[in-house]
């Protein structure tokens, strides 16, 4: 039996999308006689898993969604948000009680035998704890880089500053035996930058939660779209809203509305636009129960990502969450985004960047031509990705 120590700052019951990846992998490890897994995580407020192998460290804390910047960056943004251009340090790296308490737990349990340590980024302190645990426990170290650090595509690269950022980044990952990540572009970049073997593990969804559903629109003339997540200058819904608004203007038999379940206000992005033909519903940040109700009322889901080539590496975990619903997905992002492969391979949706593409998409879903094949979808299940993790271990 292999013994695994997982250091994951974000974990169930934290509601952030980043907690789902290893919370769900944990359920599969926990049912597998080949492995014994121990988790070190922060003490998140909410209904916790009743499992002695999950160590919730520190005082209970409630997750608060991050505030997004929904306009062009200015000088003061650079001062307030240095991660725009420098990502190998964060504000808690030297003053983090969770880091200190977790480090103490590792030291106190130094006689425990572990074969592999898995540390998940973010935050940076999870990587630091992985490095420390490798030294103390004499085990192999895998670092899960769900997002890139100094070589993140959307980062603004300033001379000298970027050079220092790169050096610190490589230093932080110097002890990793393997790196894993969530998309092909990220994996290629990481392999070259760190000069380490890097493996692709998609975020995915739990197959045991999947039940085949045949999609048909309840009302072919009224379509309800929903977006669940953050927005900002790199996830700007304005262009897609304009495309939908123009479609409704030219096809008045259709009624369309868009729900935004987000702490970010969509109206801030379209206040200078003349949007008259599509209804915008801003729901704010909603809880899990409210999300499930909203999903049931939704005909089509929206994904937002960076429209520039610099953001093509980004694969939001929402795409796999939507797969469970088996409803169409409209992605508004760069036409060569890594998201394109997942949408095409699974058949779940399309990237829409023009009025003609949207017209074609609506024609497909209203003529009952939207059909999903279970085998195509299930290749992105957590169980299939877990087999890849097992082979790596």
Rounded CA-CA distance 68/233 in Å is 8
Smallest CA-to-CA distance from 223 within 212, 213, 215 is with: 215
The confidence score (pLDDT) of residue 364 equals: 94
Rounded CA-CA distance 149/127 in Å is 11
Which DSSP category does 282 fall into? E
Which DSSP category does 205 fall into? B
The confidence score (pLDDT) of residue 75 equals: 59
The confidence score (pLDDT) of residue 245 equals: 97
Residue 345 · residue 46 · CB < 8 Å: no
The confidence score (pLDDT) of residue 70 equals: 61
Which DSSP category does 16 fall into? S
Residue 328 · residue 365 · CB < 8 Å: yes
What are the two backbone dihedrals, phi and then psi, of residue 8, each rounded to the nearest 5 degrees?
Answer: -135, 105
- Tokens representing residue 21 in the block: 């990846």
The confidence score (pLDDT) of residue 26 equals: 96
Burial class (CB in 10 A: 0-12, 13-18, 19+), 95: exposed
Residue 313 · residue 153 · CB < 8 Å: yes
Rounded (5°) CA angle 223-206-361: 25
The confidence score (pLDDT) of residue 173 equals: 98
Q: What are the beta bridge partners of residue 180?
A: 144, 199
pLDDT in tens, the chain (393 residues): 899 999 999 999 998 888 999 999 999 999 999 999 999 999 999 989 889 999 999 999 988 766 666 666 665 666 667 778 899 998 888 889 999 999 999 999 999 999 999 999 999 999 999 999 999 999 999 999 999 999 999 898 999 999 999 999 999 999 999 999 999 999 999 999 999 999 999 999 999 999 999 998 989 999 999 999 999 888 999 999 999 999 999 999 999 999 999 999 999 999 889 999 999 999 998 988 999 999 999 999 999 999 999 899 999 889 999 999 999 999 999 999 999 999 999 999 999 999 999 999 999 999 988 999 999 999 999 999 999 999 999
- Tokens representing residue 169 in the block: 């980044």
């Amino acid at each position: 039996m292999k013994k695994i120590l997982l250091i994951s700052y974000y974990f169930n019951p934290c509601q952030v999308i980043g907690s789902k990846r290893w919370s769900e992998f944990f359920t599969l490890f926990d049912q597998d006689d080949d492995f014994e897994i121990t988790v070190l995580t922060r003490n998140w407020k909410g209904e916790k898993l009743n499992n002695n192998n999950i160590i919730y460290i520190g005082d209970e804390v409630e997750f608060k969604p991050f505030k997004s910047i929904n306009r062009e960056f200015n000088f003061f943004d650079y001062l307030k948000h240095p991660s725009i251009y420098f990502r190998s340090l964060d504000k808690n790296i030297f003053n983090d009680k969770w880091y200190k308490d977790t480090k103490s737990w590792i030291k106190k349990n130094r006689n425990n035998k572990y074969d592999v340590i898995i540390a998940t980024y973010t935050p940076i302190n999870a990587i630091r704890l992985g490095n420390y645990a490798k030294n103390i426990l004499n085990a192999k170290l895998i670092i899960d880089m769900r997002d890139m650090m100094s070589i993140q595509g959307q980062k603004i690269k300033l001379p000298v500053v970027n050079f220092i950022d790169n050096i610190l980044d490589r230093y932080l990952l110097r002890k990793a035996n393997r790196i894993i990540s969530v998309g092909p572009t990220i994996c290629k970049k990481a392999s070259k930058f760190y000069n380490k073997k890097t493996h692709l593990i998609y975020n995915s969804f739990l197959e045991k939660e999947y039940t085949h559903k045949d999609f048909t629109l309840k009302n072919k003339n009224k379509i309800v779209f929903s977006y669940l997540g953050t927005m900002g200058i790199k996830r700007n819904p304005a262009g897609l809203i304009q495309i939908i608004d123009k479609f409704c203007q030219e096809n008045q038999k259709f009624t369309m509305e868009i729900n935004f379940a987000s702490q970010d206000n969509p109206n801030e992005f379209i206040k200078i636009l003349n949007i008259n033909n599509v209804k915008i519903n801003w729901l704010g940040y909603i809880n899990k129960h409210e999300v499930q109700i909203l999903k049931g009322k939704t005909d089509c889901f929206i994904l937002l990502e960076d429209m520039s080539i610099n953001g093509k590496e980004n694969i939001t975990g929402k795409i796999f969450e939507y797969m469970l619903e088996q409803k169409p997905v409209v992605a508004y992002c760069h036409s060569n985004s890594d998201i394109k492969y997942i949408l095409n391979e699974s058949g779940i949706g399309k990237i829409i960047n023009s009025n003609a593409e949207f017209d074609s998409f609506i024609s497909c879903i209203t003529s009952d031509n939207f059909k999903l094949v279970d085998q195509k979808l299930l290749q992105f299940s957590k169980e299939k990705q877990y087999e890849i993790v097992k082979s790596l271990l």
